[in-house]
Structure 1
Amino acid sequence: MVLLSFISTVPSLLPSPSTYTTLSRCSRHSGVINCKVEANVNNADGVSRRDILHCFVSTISMDLIARSTSFVEVANAADLIQRRQRSEFQSAIKGTLAESLKGNPDLIPSVLTLALNDAITYDKATKSGGPNGSIRFSSEISRPENKGLAAALNLLEEVKKEIDSYSKGGPIAYADLIQCAAQSAIKSTFLASAIRKCGGNQEKGALLYSAYGSTGQWGLFDKQFGRSDAQEPDPEGRVPQWEKASVKEMKDKFSAIGFGPRQLAVMSAFLGPDQAATEEALASDPEVTKWVQKYQRSRETVSQTDYEVDLITTLTKLSSMGATNQL
């Protein structure tokens, strides 16, 4: 005799009783049928035990396919729900940050520098540092390179309290908050520029930004949400004092993290409190000046496309260096 176990589905696929002698002592346990099949098959009908086994395997396969399809449908539905909840939470965060920055426009440059200094601690050799929220520690925010950034950090700490009050998934990480704040700061500057170009009309300015802005460029940035916070400050000496650094020192630092003159020029708004002074210094370098001039021309256009796209792309790459995702 041959002992077979198979899931009890689609019994009509089995051969008819005339093809084999008996199915003896069949019993069901937890949705599984155990049967002993007699070996003396009706050879006249040309059906062997292999045929029976093939039918049983086919039955099992069809059942597993049906069940796996059901599992996939459930998993897809759960994934869609999770993505929708994530998207809604991110939208709420952006709204909270936008309102906070709107009420404190003087802190926008500091917010940008805060995000840069938190992320640019990344060290490729040791795979340490990066956008991990370590700048929140008092021993790091008090370093010379972070002078003047405490007010921006204090603002974000207040924002964090509000976000945590409506978060259903636990507190937002400082690592995410700081980089998302930089995103909101950049968006607010482009929106403000569009409003100015519309003579101060906010409705027309918002429409102009919507029409010419690079909303789609933020897609990859949003997917990085879920960074983990560092549990200690990053090592000292990884961030220059931007307002005192030479162009060569800035170039060397950007080169160390895989950036070149183009990214250095487009990030001039992050490098110290005076963007105009930084750009003037950068323009003195033959490798950087063409990019400085390119972005200056772009900012004079209605759409600012070249400047906006390159700035968003650079910030996105910077904000992902060595980031540990917790989702």
Structure 2
Amino acid sequence: MENGSADGEELSRRDVLKFVGVSVGIELMASSGSFVESARAADLIQRRQRSEFLSSVKSTLFTAIKGNPELIPSLLTLALNDAMTYDKASKSGGPNGSIRFSSELSRPENKGLSAAMNLLEEAKKEIDSYSKGGPISYADLIQDAAQSAVKATFLASAIRKCGGNEEKGNLLYTAYGSSGQWGLFDKQLGRSDTMEPDPEGRVPQWENASVKEMKDKFSSIGLGPRQLAVMSLFLGPDQTATETLLATDPDVSPWVQKYQRSRETVSETDYEVDLITTLTKLSSLGQQINYEAYTYPVPKVDFRKLKL
């Protein structure tokens, strides 16, 4: 009888423990599900905030560039030179906004870029005035301006191919080959600014550099002749002169010719896609992207105070 009683008591305890365990498990699962859903909702809110902010930034930069189209070459070189300070060995430099410092902007390789930087300073004031998630970093501002400048060149090309008709040019631009590539660039929003200039001697003077010097610099950051050729628009104010020089090199020449032919087509697909892809890589060298940048808390609504 004692053994039977002990077994029955033990069984009863086990049943109770199982019941409690299942109950606690269900509660944990329920709370966990609620937590996951809340996290997903918060993530969607942040994505929307960043998307809306980026859309506003693009609009501001587009307007600024449209009013100063002569600064497009300088804006492109500004972005390139800010990124080209990247050093693979030390994992330092890169597109970190260091070019904003006067001591770096005044270097020989950055000659003539002050006007472009001044334009971005004015754009930054406007952007910061409507940003709900804090001021935009110079690192983001400079690279986003390059994106807007590239788009402006593609749009201008489309309009020219339509005989100057802006309406038809805009429609043609929508047929260009960058349908998904810009999305990859946009995900890089959230670059951080450095608090000091990058070391000297890391960026060539593009207008005076030999093709070998250009190739060596691109190679040092993991890019080759193909990327050098497609970035000709960024290597000084005269793209034709730059491509003429690049075409003298047997490694770069085939790519120069390929992109020249591509620009003559209606969609410019090969040229545009490769340019955007290369710019995206350059604009993220050595950067740890903060995917919560420019997000902000959403005010909670007390539904009890709402009048129905």
Q: Tell me whether the two structures share a fold, i.e. TM-score over 0.5.
A: yes
Which amino acid is the alignment partner of residue 248 of structure 1? K
- Whether the 8 Å contact between 1:41 and 1:48 is mirrored in structure 2 is no
User: Greater relative contact order (Cα 8 A, min sep 6): structure 1 or 2?
Assistant: 2
CA apart distance, 1:207: 1.3
Provide the identity percentage: 76
- 3-state SS, counterpart of residue 241 of structure 1: coil
Is 1:43 the counterpart of 2:8? The answer is yes
Q: Distance in 2 between matches of 1:43 and 1:236?
A: 83
Corresponding position of 1:168 = 132
Q: Distance in 1 between matches of 2:157 and 2:236?
A: 21
Give the residue type in structure 2 aligned to 1:129. Answer: G
> Which amino acid letter does the alignment assign opposite residue 306 of structure 1?
D
Matched, 1:309 2:273: yes
Distance in 2 (alpha carbons) for counterparts of 1:320 and 1:295: 24
- Matches of residues 180-219 of structure 1 in structure 2 within 5 Å? 180-219=144-183
Q: Could you report, residue by residue, the CA deviation over 1:189-220 in whole angstroms, capped at 9, with x for unpaired residues?
A: 11111111112221221111112241311111
1:112 aligns with 2:70: no
SS at match of 1:48: helix
Matches within 5 A, 1:87-126: 87-126=51-90
Please state how far the C-alpha of 1:74 moved relative to its aligned partner: 1.0
Whether 1:131 aligns to 2:95 is: yes
Q: Give the structure with the higher percent strand.
A: 1
Q: Does 1:267 align with 2:231?
A: yes
Query: Aligned to 2:174, what secondary structure does the other structure show?
Result: helix
Match of 1:278, SS state, is helix
Offset at residue 51 of structure 1 (A): 2.1
> Which of residues 218, 221, 229 is equivalent to 2:193?
229
| Alpha-carbon distance in 2 for matches of 1:149, 1:265 | 22
The reply to whether residue 153 of structure 1 matches residue 117 of structure 2 is: yes
Q: 2: distance between equivalents of 1:173 and 1:73? A: 31
How many Å separate the matches in 1 of 2:108 and 2:68? Answer: 24
Q: CA deviation at 1:236?
A: 0.3
Q: CA deviation at 1:47?
A: 3.6
1:32 aligned partner: none
Count, aligned residues: 287
TM-score by length of 2: 0.91
Q: Does 1:283 align with 2:247?
A: yes
- Please state how far the C-alpha of 1:325 moved relative to its aligned partner: 2.7
Q: CA deviation at 1:324?
A: 3.3
Residue 241 of structure 1 pairs with residue 237 of structure 2: no
Tell me how far apart the structure 2 counterparts of residues 63 and 125 of structure 1 sit (CA, whole Å). 51
The separation in 1 between residues aligned to 2:288 and 2:178, in whole angstroms, is 27
Give the aligned partner of residue 11 of structure 1.
none
Distance 1:279 1:229 in 2: 33
Equivalent in the alignment of 1:256: 220
Q: Which of 79, 95, 110 does residue 43 from structure 2 map onto?
A: 79
**CA displacement at 1:273 relative to structure 2:** 1.5
Q: Which runs of 4+ in 1 moved over 2 A?
A: 40-44, 324-327
3-state SS of paired residue (1:185): helix
- Larger Rg computed on CA atoms: 1
TM-score scaled by length of structure 1: 0.85
CA-CA distance at 1:87 after TM superposition: 0.1
AA in 2 matched with 1:77 = A
Contact 1:41-1:49 at 8 Å conserved across structures: no
Unpaired segments ≥5 residues, structure 2: 293-308
> Which whole-Å CA distance do the structure 1 matches of 2:182 and 2:241 have between them?
28
C-alpha displacement of 1:48: 3.2
The 3 A distance-change label for structure 1 pair 210 and 41 is: farther
CA-CA distance at 1:41 after TM superposition: 7.0
Q: In the aligned structure 2, how far is the partner of 1:264 from the partner of 1:283? A: 11
Distance 1:215 1:122 in 2: 29
